[in-house]
Structure 1
Amino acid sequence: MSSTVPSGGAPGPDQATLLSLLTDLPATDDATVLHAPDRALSLRELRSAVDSVASVLVKAGVRQGVPVGGLVGTGPFGVVGMFAVWAAGGVYVPVNRRSTPAEIAALIDETPVELLLGTAEDLDRQIADVAMVHVQATTWQAALRRPVRADPTAYDQEIALVLRTSGTTGRPKAVQLRHRSTIDALDSSLRKLRRRRRPTTPALPATPRLNLIPLSLALWAGIFNTLFSLRAGYGVVLLDRFTPEALVAAVRRHEITSTVLPPAMITALCDSDTVDSVAPLRIVRSITAPLSPAVARRFHDRFGVLVLNSYGQTELGGEVVGWTVDDIREFGTGKLGAAGRPYDDVDVRIVDDTGRSLPTGEPGHIHIRSPFRMRGYANSEPVRSESTEQDDRFVDGFLRTGDLGHLDTEGFLWIEGRVSDMINRGGLKVFPDEVEEVLRRHPGVRDAAVAGLPDPRLGEVPHAWIVPTGPDTPAAAELTAWCRQHLAPYKVPAGYTTIDALPRSDVGKVLRRELRA
Structure 2
Amino acid sequence: MTVTAPDVFARLARLAEEPDATALISCRPGSSRTITRGQLLQGCRITAAALRTAGARPGHKAVVMTRDAYDLTTITYALWSIGAVPTLIEPRAEVGRCLREIAPDLFIGEPLAHLGRRVLGWGRGHVRLPLVTGPSFPGQRLALGRRLAVHTPDADGPPWQQEEPTDDDLAMIAFTSGSTGRPKGAEYRYATLAGQLEALATLLAPRPGDVLLAGFLPLVLFGPLLGLTTVTPAVNHLAPARTPPQGLIDPILRHQVTTIAASPAVLTLIAGHCARHDVRLPSARQALSFGAPLRPRLADALRRALPHDTKLRSVYGATECLPVSAITDHDLRTAAIQPPPGHTGTCLGHPLPGMQPQILDADATGLGEIAVSGPTVSPAYHGRPDADATAKITTSRGVLHRTGDMGRLDDQGQLWFLGRKAHLVTGSGFTLTTEDIETLADTTPGVRRTALVGLGPAGSQEPVLCVESLPSAPRATALDAVRTALRSHPEGHRIGALLLHPGFPTDPRHNSKIDRPRLAAWAAKRLRRRTR
Could you tell me how far 1:460 is from its partner in structure 2?
Answer: 2.4
Following TM superposition, by how much is the alpha carbon of 1:430 offset from its aligned partner in structure 2, in angstroms?
1.3
Pick from 334, 352, 355: which aligns with 2:361? 352
Letter of the 2:189 counterpart: R
- Seen in structure 2, the aligned counterparts of structure 1 residues 380 and 369 have a Cα distance that, compared at 3 Å, is closer
Distance of 2:130 and 2:192 partners within structure 1: 29
Where does residue 18 of structure 1 map in the other structure?
8
Q: What code does the residue aligned with 2:131 have? A: V
Asked whether the equivalents of residues 389 and 395 of structure 1 are also in contact (C-alpha less than 8 Å), the reply is no
Instruction: Name the SS of the counterpart of 2:335 in structure 1.
Output: coil
> What secondary structure does 1:274 align onto?
helix
- Counterparts of 1:47-126 in structure 2, within 5 Å, are 47-96=41-90, 98-99=91-92, 104-120=95-111, 122-124=113-115, 126=117
Query: SS at 2:466's partner residue?
Result: strand
The equivalent residue for 2:182 is 171
Task: Report the equivalent of 1:34.
Answer: 24
- Please report how far the alpha carbon of residue 251 of structure 1 lies from its aligned counterpart in structure 2 after TM superposition: 1.0
The yes-or-no answer on 1:403 pairing with 2:405 is: yes
Cα deviation 1:340-377 (Å, max 9, x = unaligned): 211222211223358xxx7xx83322121123322311
Matched, 1:289 2:292: yes
CA distance in structure 2 between the partners assigned to 1:419 and 1:14 by the alignment: 36
Is the 8 Å Cα contact of residues 285 and 310 (structure 1) preserved in structure 2?
yes
Measure how far apart 1:12 and its partner are: 10
Structure-2 change in CA distance of 1:268 and 1:419 (3 Å): same
Q: Deviations over 1:20-41 (max 9, x none)?
A: 4333226532333211123221
Alignment correspondent of 1:474: 476
1:32 counterpart letter in structure 2: T
1:170-249 aligned within 5 A: 170-195=181-206, 208-215=209-216, 222-223=217-218, 225-241=219-235, 242-249=243-250
In terms of fraction of residues, the more helix-rich structure is 2
Distance of 1:73 and 1:269 partners within structure 2 = 21
Could you tell me how far apart the structure 1 residues matched to 2:210 and 2:74 are?
A: 20
Deviation of residue 115 (structure 1)? 0.6
> Which residue does the alignment assign to 1:483?
486
Identify if the C-alpha distance between structure 1 residues 39 and 403 changes in structure 2 by more than 3 Å, giving closer, same or farther: same
Report the CA distance shift for 1:452/1:267 in structure 2 as closer, same or farther (over 3 A). Answer: farther
Q: Aligned pair 1:254/2:255, yes or no?
A: yes
Which shows bigger deviation, 492-501 or 13-22? 13-22
Check 1:448–1:13 CA distance in 2 against 1; reply closer, same or farther (3 A cut): closer
Q: Report Cα offsets for 1:168-191 as digits up to 9, x if no partner.
A: 221111111011221122113323
Match of 1:150 in 2: none
Q: Deviations for 1:435-457, whole angstroms, at most 9, x for unmatched residues?
A: 22222222211222221123899
Residue 315 (structure 2) aligned to one of 310, 318, 323: 310
Equivalences for residues 321-332 of structure 1 within 5 A = 321-323=325-327
Find the residue that maps to 1:410 and give its secondary structure.
coil
In structure 1, C-alpha distance between the alignment counterparts of 2:112 and 2:268, rounded to whole Å: 35
1:208-252 alpha-carbon deviations (Å, 9 max, x no partner): 53211113xxxxxx12x2344223311210012243332221111
Equivalent of 2:372, from 361, 368, 374?
A: 368
Q: State which of 43, 46, 60 in structure 1 corresponds to 2:40.
A: 46
Q: Identify the residue that residue 335 of structure 1 maps to in structure 2.
A: 335
Cα distance, 1:465 vs. partner?
3.2
CA contact (8 A) 1:350 1:407 kept: yes
Q: Partners in 2 of 1:117 and 1:136 — Cα distance?
A: 10
Query: Partner of 1:509: helix, strand, or coil?
Result: coil
1:114 partner amino acid: D
Uncovered stretches (5+) of structure 2, i.e. residues with no partner: 137-143, 149-165, 236-242, 337-345, 522-532
Inter-partner Cα distance in structure 2 for 1:72 and 1:250: 21
- The residue type equivalent to 1:470 in the other structure is S
Q: Do the aligned residues in 2 keep the contact of 1:283 with 1:306 (CA within 8 Å)?
A: yes
How many angstroms apart in 2 are the aligned matches of 1:227 and 1:481?
47
In the superposition, relative to structure 1, how do residues 145 and 268 fare at CA in structure 2: closer, same or farther (>3 Å)? closer
The amino acid of 1:515's aligned partner reads: L
Shift of 1:390: 4.9
- Decide whether the 8 Å contact of 2:172 with 2:189 is kept in 1: yes
Equivalent in 492, 496, 502 of residue 499 of structure 1: 502
**How far apart, CA to CA, are the structure 1 residues paired with 2:412 and 2:285?**
25
Between the aligned partners of 2:332 and 2:501, the Cα distance in structure 1 is 35
Inter-partner Cα distance in structure 1 for 2:518 and 2:445: 26
Aligned to 1:339, the other structure's residue is in SS state strand
Distance 2:388 2:332 in 1: 40
Decide whether aligned partners of structure 1 residues 456 and 167 sit closer, same or farther in structure 2, where only a CA change above 3 A counts.
closer
1:134 aligns to 2:124 (yes or no): no
**Root-mean-square deviation over aligned CA pairs:** 3.5
Identify the match of residue 161 of structure 1 among 140, 147, 172.
172
Aligned position for 1:463: 465
Matched positions, count: 461
